[in-house]
Amino acid sequence: MELFVQLLANTLQIGAVYVLFALGLTLIFGVMKIVNFAHGAFFTAAALIVTSVVPFATVELGVPLWAGYLLAAIVAIVVVLCLGALVYSIGFQHVLKDLNGSFILSIGLLLILNGAYLAIYGGAPRTVPQVLPGTVSIFGAALTAQRLALVIVAAVVTGGLYLLIERTRLGLALRAVAMDQEAAMLQGMPFNRVALYGFLIGAALAACAGVLMAPINAVTPVSGDEFLIKAFIIIIIGGLGSVTGAIIGGLFIALIESMGGYFFDPSTATLAMFILVIAFLLVRPQGILGNVE
């Protein structure tokens, strides 16, 4: 029982970040019909910003650690939103619904941004002090308070995104554009603006994931890239463009990672994920919740 709860807790804390990351990627695909290979760069930017704002705020400004982290989170999300708006206006808006063009653009962007991060921050892993010290015991399983907070925040953000998509006028437009862009335009929905909002929400989700991850894992200029690969696995399994699919897929991959890592070893878990993706692509290429077009 204790082991089971521990593994479940591990799954949730790994999965929480995966879900946020994959949600952004799948949202951008759904609305713009492009695959953003530079999505990990948003994540990395946010995480790196946290690693420099937290020490600055606590040492130079003398604010408490939690306040410094909160400030860092806001700065990181705002900067990533600005970065997102910039790359959308000079790049992505010209390759809407263009898989080849967006592939070339986003790979190039990824190389530029990774190079820029390396130039600014150097290659050494950067860390943030523990924001929430202590552990919480749930059914005998130990969970650091920090990781518990991560899961809660990720769940709140995911819930917020769900409400935005299901209950608001913008969400209605995002769904409609994702299902049939031309029909959405005929209802008076301005495609370009809806695509921009979808892109910015996706970037903000990646930034949230980066902010949450920074105090837990060491951050490097390529931190986002491994998440990108996992996120692709997740949305292939969950269904490209499906929000619920990204949530299910994210938790599923996290489950494989924590179970496989415990009972076998991490490389077996990674192997299992890729085998799973191959199996999905062969048997059910649209994923668990994807649509056949």
Residues at the interface with another protein (CB under 8 A): 169, 172-173, 175-176, 179-180, 182-190, 291
Instruction: Quote the least distance from Cβ 184 to another protein, whole Å.
Output: 7
| Cβ closest to another protein, residue 134 vs residue 188 | 188
| Cβ closest to another protein, residue 180 vs residue 265 | 180
Q: Residue 238, exposed/middle/buried by CB under 10 A (0-12, 13-18, 19+)?
A: buried
Instruction: Quote the least distance from Cβ 186 to another protein, whole Å.
Output: 5
Q: Count other C-beta atoms under 10 Å from residue 137's C-beta.
A: 10
Buried b / exposed e along 89-113 (16+ C-beta atoms within 10 A): eebbeebbeeeeebeebbeebbeeb
Per-residue CA distances from 209 to 17, 85, 127, 142, 198 (Å):
5, 19, 16, 23, 17
- Of residues 8, 6, 23, the one with CA closest to residue 227: 23
Instruction: Quote the least distance from Cβ 191 to another protein, whole Å.
Output: 8
| Cβ closest to another protein, residue 54 vs residue 289 | 289
| Cβ closest to another protein, residue 32 vs residue 214 | 32
| Cβ closest to another protein, residue 77 vs residue 189 | 189
| Cβ closest to another protein, residue 175 vs residue 284 | 175
| Cβ closest to another protein, residue 97 vs residue 278 | 97
Strand spans (E) along 120-234 = 135-138, 141-144
Instruction: Quote the least distance from Cβ 188 to another protein, whole Å.
Output: 3
Instruction: Quote the least distance from Cβ 183 to another protein, whole Å.
Output: 4
Instruction: Quote the least distance from Cβ 189 to another protein, whole Å.
Output: 5
Assigned token pair, 80: 């990533």
Strands 141-144 and 135-138: antiparallel
Strand partners, 126: 219
Q: How many helices (H) and strands (E) does the chain have?
A: 11, 2
Instruction: Quote the least distance from Cβ 229 to another protein, whole Å.
Output: 28
Strand spans (E) along the chain = 135-138, 141-144
